[in-house]
Homo-oligomer: A and B are copies of this chain.
Amino acid sequence: MSRQFTLDDSQLLADIIQLRRDVRGNRFLSKPIDDDTLDKLLDAALNAPSVGYSQPWQFVVIREDAVKRQVHHSFIEENASGAKLFNGEKQRQYQNLKLEGILEAPVNLAIFYRPKPGAVLGQTSMADMGRFSVVCAIQNLWLMARSLNIGVGWVSIIDPESVKKILNAPQDAELIGYLCIGYVEDFLAEPELKTLGWEKQKTKSQVIFKETFNSSCTEGQSA
Which A residues fall within an 8 A CB radius of B?
1-5, 9-10, 12-20, 22, 40, 42-44, 46-49, 51-55, 57-64, 67, 78, 81-82, 85-86, 94, 97, 99, 118-119, 121-126, 128-129, 131-132, 135-136, 138-140, 142-144, 146-149, 154, 156-160, 166-170, 173, 175-177, 185-189, 191, 193-194, 198-199, 201-202, 204, 206-214
Q: Are A208 and B61 in contact (CB under 8 A)?
A: yes
Which of A40, A157, A206: most chain B CB closer than 10 A? A157
Q: Are B2 and A14 in contact (CB under 8 A)?
A: no
**Minimal Cβ-Cβ distance residue in B for A162:** B125
With a cutoff of 8 Å between Cβ atoms, the chain B residues found around residue A67 in the complex are: 211-212
Q: What are the 4 closest A-B residue pairs judged by CB atoms, nearest first?
A: A53-B193, A85-B119, A82-B124, A135-B135
Given A64-B211, A81-B124, A82-B124, 20 further pairs, Cβ under 8 A: A1-B185, A5-B146, A5-B148, A14-B43, A46-B204, A52-B199, A55-B201, A58-B213, A60-B212, A60-B213, A61-B210, A61-B211, A121-B193, A121-B198, A122-B157, A166-B212, A167-B211, A167-B213, A168-B213, A169-B213
Q: Are A147 and B189 in contact (CB under 8 A)?
A: no
